[in-house]
Structure 1
Amino acid sequence: MAPLLRSRGFVLIWAAGLCSSVASWLLLTGLPIYVFGVTGSAFTTSAVFLVELLCGITLGSFAGALADRLDRFRLMSCVAVAQAAVVLPLLAEPGHHLWIICLVAGAQAVLTQAFDSARNAALPSLVEPAHLVSANSMVALNISVGRLIGSSLGGFAITRAGTGYLAVGGVVAFTTAAALIVAGRRAARRDAARSKPPGRTSSFLADWRSGLATMLGNRTVRVTILSVALGGIAQGLFVVLFVVFVSRALQADGTLTGVLRGVQAIGGVAGGLIVGMLGARLSSRLLMSLGATTFGLISLIIWNGPAVTRQPGWYVLLFILVGVPGVAYSSGAFAQIQRSVPDTDLGRAFGVYYAIYNAAQGLGMAAAGLLGDALSVVLVLHVQAVLYLASGVVAYVGLRGVAPRSGTTVLVSGGERRETAESAP
């Protein structure tokens, strides 16, 4: 982790990602609370999540394709400014004009996906291949820290001044992120040349289609995304049925639901630090397989826990622990793609990654809605755990013997270009 902290360019981009994550969680938490307060309808409130999901599925891969045509640092800064502009309508209370909330939520979903795809694609130009896993764990750490800070501020802001504080907080955080990216680009000016893919003469749609074909032709990407899709379905089942599990199996109220969702971020922070320190010693394939299987095993313990005890402290501990393998898995998956896809295609690779994950999560949510009342919630959640175990097996078996691209070009201090041969994970 120390080499990463000595890289001013990486630290500034990482800090920008943290600001962006805080702003995103601020909105993710505050907007549904506002909608429910105005309408009193759980169905209408769920529409906010549905809009975000649908926009991510349909437009996510297009957003990723931009990162293969434009300077990635400039793209991130422009996206952050656009995110700040998009939240401005929230300065005035939308009231029952919920289409404004949906427009803001949908636009933020697409812009966030464009930002994340560009950042993940630019990361290999900022760090050496040996430090990619650690760098990705630091990026994953942002999500957990952003969740802790942003969710708390979102709940506080919406109860004090409606959407006005949400807008102010979002503008401040997103514009700070844009400023940090500009500073990070200057700090890594020589590296930035590599973050801008060579000029393209083909159309945007042609590039998008060729990117999809490239992803389908890359075995490592296919296996990684299959593993991620299984995890996405499992996550969709969890999002819907977790609330039901706390109510029916643990016989607890919404307070425990909120606590358990919050403490998972603590495990995410711990996981980010642990993987950050050990990342250079662990292969991305091992992180993916161990992360997913450990997540699945802890899930099985949680879902079967009520047969032994309903004490809240036990579940708080388990939900803290489950955050650690989640970070390990995502860090390994990102590094696997970054090491196996040419730099010129990385934006589209992550665009496809996020689009498929969102689609899989939507499928899991739909299945949970159909099965949650027809079958025992604990039985369906066992399927969720098994899907995570299957995700780990797919990563371990499918990626065995698959070597990343050899001769990966990285930029090191002084702007020197070095060809680094990478070994198979």
Structure 2
Amino acid sequence: MTTAVTTPTERVTPLHRNRDFVLLWVGAAASNLGSTASLIAYPLLVLALTGSAFDAGLAGFFGLLPGLLLQLPAGALVDRWNRRRLMIWCDALRGLGVASVVAALALDRLGLPQILVVCFVEGTLTVLHGLAAHVAVPNLVPESQLALALSRNEARGRAASMLGTPLGGALFTLGRAVPFLADALSYLVSLVTLLLIRKDFEAEPRKDTGGRMADQIGEGLRWLWRQPFLRVTTLLVAGSNLMFRALFLVIVVMATRSGASATGIGVMLGFAGAGGVLGSLAAPWFRRRVPLNVLVIVANWAWAVLMGVIVLTSSQFVLAAAYAAMWFVGPVWNVALGSYQLAITPDRLRGRVLAAMSTLSNGALPLGALAGGLLLDTAGPQGAAAALAVWMLLLAAAATLARSVRRNHDTV
């Protein structure tokens, strides 16, 4: 059984020459780009087939629903099954599902029920694949490179989001089936890279493949609850996720009210995405030099201050710069917290703990979308931004006052 553990006297291979990590990164980059392209193509396809905006929204809902409902059981399965084999099956089945859309389009037999089933199945397999890929990283790289590896993964995801959406629209203009064919091929690339990886994705062989899933999920939840720092920071992430999801809609409305065109808003959001990529690349530098408690507290106060700038400015350029700066801070926080969580969590629990944290933190996203709409309807864009600034100020104060945060001086 090969692992990524090294002794102090061993020479550490540079990350870009770590064959297995590079293969995993490239495969995930391809599938992320393809999935993001199809994400925008699905509603375009449904609109073209049915002309119903509700049906288009339904397709998006079915694709995102597994991320809300299935994180906890998926985490248990990731800890129970062989992770690499699980990811291979996920890629194969995701590719077949998307290929069925291409085939049905070619035969002129595609209907909304098939699209909804494919969206749900693809979303479910993506949850499993994403959890397994994330918790496998500590077994492919030495601990000293964990933050760097996670920063590269963070940059990969943000770049895929930034590039995949316009790519999906461009491919759809070439033909309705083209973005889905590209997505199917991206899963094939990911599958091939997984087959070429030599190292194991587990620290030790799986000994227990049975047991009640509820008990296994409970074990992960109890472990997380007994970690005061992770417990508090997970709740802080949930609070900031709620704010960011609401802020997205508020930013779009504020930019529109200030006279920005649709193209200008797209450029602004692309600028924010670039800020996220830069933050991902800078994250290892901060992780090595800044204690974890300082990163957590400063990140929350930076968001609070930048929210104040957004409330007070009437300039599109200042608005774009502040929003991009908020996106820069995000991956610095994500990499610091993610590397710490993976380093202290036993390998046999990593899938369940990550799933529990994701369920708690990402469960706030739909609430944020709802809050953004309600705030805009009742208080207008400026009032909505002010309310979100107050919310972020309270989160920053909570991070500062939390004893478990202040006591964590961990650095890598």
TM-score (norm 2): 0.86
Q: Deviations over 1:338-397 (max 9, x none)?
A: 133221111011112222233211111122233321222222223334444544554553
The structure 2 residue matched to 1:373, chosen from 374, 377, 388, is 377
State the AA in 1 paired with 2:162: L
* Change beyond 3 A, Cα 1:25–1:399: same
Shift of residue 43 of structure 1? 4.3
The partner residue of 1:329 within 327, 333, 357 is 333
Q: CA deviation at 1:318?
A: 3.8
Q: Residues 193, 36 of structure 1: CA spacing in aligned structure 2 closer, same or farther, 3 A cutoff? A: closer
Q: Structure 1 residues 303, 337: closer, same or farther in 2, change over 3 A?
A: same
Deviations 1:165-212 (A, max 9, x none): 12211111111112112222x1xx2x5451654434423333123322
Which of 27, 31, 56 is residue 20 of structure 1 equivalent to?
A: 31
Give the structure 2 partner of residue 78 of structure 1: 89
1:128 aligns with 2:142: yes
**Counterpart amino acid of residue 309 in structure 2:** I
Gaps of 5+ in 1: 404-422
Tell me the distance in 1 between the aligned counterparts of 2:411 and 2:274: 32
Change (3 A) 1:13 1:291: farther
Instruction: Find out whether 1:144 has 2:155 as its counterpart.
Output: no
Task: Confirm whether residue 168 of structure 1 aligns to residue 194 of structure 2.
Answer: no
Aligned mate of 2:359, from 345, 355, 358: 355
Q: Hey, what does 1:113 align to over in structure 2? A: 127
Shift of 1:126: 1.9
Residue 3 (structure 2) aligns with: none
Structure 2 CA distance for partners of 1:258 and 1:135, relative to 1, 3 Å:
same
Distance in 2, Cα, partners of 1:234 & 1:72? 33
State the partner residue of 1:270: 278
Amino acid at match of 2:158: S
- CA shift for structure 1 position 152: 2.2
Distance 1:193 1:375 in 2: 51
| Amino acid in structure 2 at the alignment position of 1:325 | V
Deviates more, 1:349-358 or 1:196-205: 196-205
Corresponding residue of 1:245: 254
Instruction: Tell me the equivalent position of 2:219.
Output: 210
User: Which of 180, 191, 208 is the aligned partner of 1:199?
Assistant: 208
Matching residue of 1:179: 192
1:400 alignment partner, one of 394, 403, 406: 406
Q: Aligned in 2, Cα 1:122/1:166: closer, same or farther, shift over 3 Å?
A: same
Alpha-carbon distance in structure 2 between the residues aligned to 1:9 and 1:96: 39
TM-score normalised by length of structure 1 = 0.83
How far did residue 424 of structure 1 move? 6.6
Deviations 1:103-126 (A, max 9, x none): 333223222221221122111122
Shift in CA distance, 47/291, structure 1 to aligned 2, threshold 3 Å: farther
CA contact (8 A) 2:138 2:342 kept: yes
Q: Hey, what does 2:64 align to over in structure 1?
A: 53
The residue type equivalent to 1:26 in the other structure is A
- Residue type matched to 1:109 in 2? G
* Change over 3 Å in CA distance of 1:120–1:264 after alignment to 2: same
Residue 155, structure 1, aligned to residue 169, structure 2? yes
Structure 1 residue 269, shift from structure 2 partner: 1.8
| Alpha carbons 1:141, 1:269 under 8 Å: kept | yes
Contact 1:232 1:364 in 2 (8 A): yes
SS at match of 1:194: coil
How far is the alpha carbon of 1:60 from its aligned partner?
1.5
The 1-side partners of 2:49 and 2:253 are apart by 24
User: Aligned-pair RMSD on alpha carbons?
Assistant: 2.7
Matched, 1:35 2:35: no
Query: Given that residues 59 and 115 in structure 2 are in contact (C-alpha distance below 8 angstroms), is that contact kept between their aligned partners in structure 1?
Result: yes
CA contact (8 A) 2:235 2:361 kept: no
**Residues 222-241 of structure 1 mapped to structure 2, 5 A cutoff:** 222-241=231-250
Shift of 1:161: 0.8
State the SS of the aligned residue for 2:337.
helix
> Cα distance, 1:258 vs. partner?
2.0
Change (3 A) 1:216 1:236: same
Give the 3 Å change call, closer, same or farther, for CA 172–74 of structure 1 in structure 2: same
Summarize the Cα distance change of 1:43–1:20 in structure 2 as closer, same or farther, 3 Å threshold.
same
Report the identity percentage.
24
Where does residue 302 of structure 2 map in the other structure? 294
Determine if the alignment matches structure 1 residue 100 to structure 2 residue 114: yes
Name which of structure 1's ranges 168-177 and 104-113 shifts more when overlaid on structure 2: 104-113
Cα pair distance change 1:239/1:318, threshold 3 Å: closer
- CA spacing shift, 1:53–1:245, aligned 2, 3 Å: farther
Q: Distance in 2 between matches of 1:2 and 1:145?
A: 25
Tell me which moved more, 23-32 or 172-181: 23-32
Matched AA of 2:361: Y
Cα–Cα, structure 1 residues 197 and 375, in superposed 2: closer, same or farther, change >3 Å?
A: farther
CA shift digits 1:67-115 (9 cap, x unpaired): 1111222222222222212212321348983333333332232222212
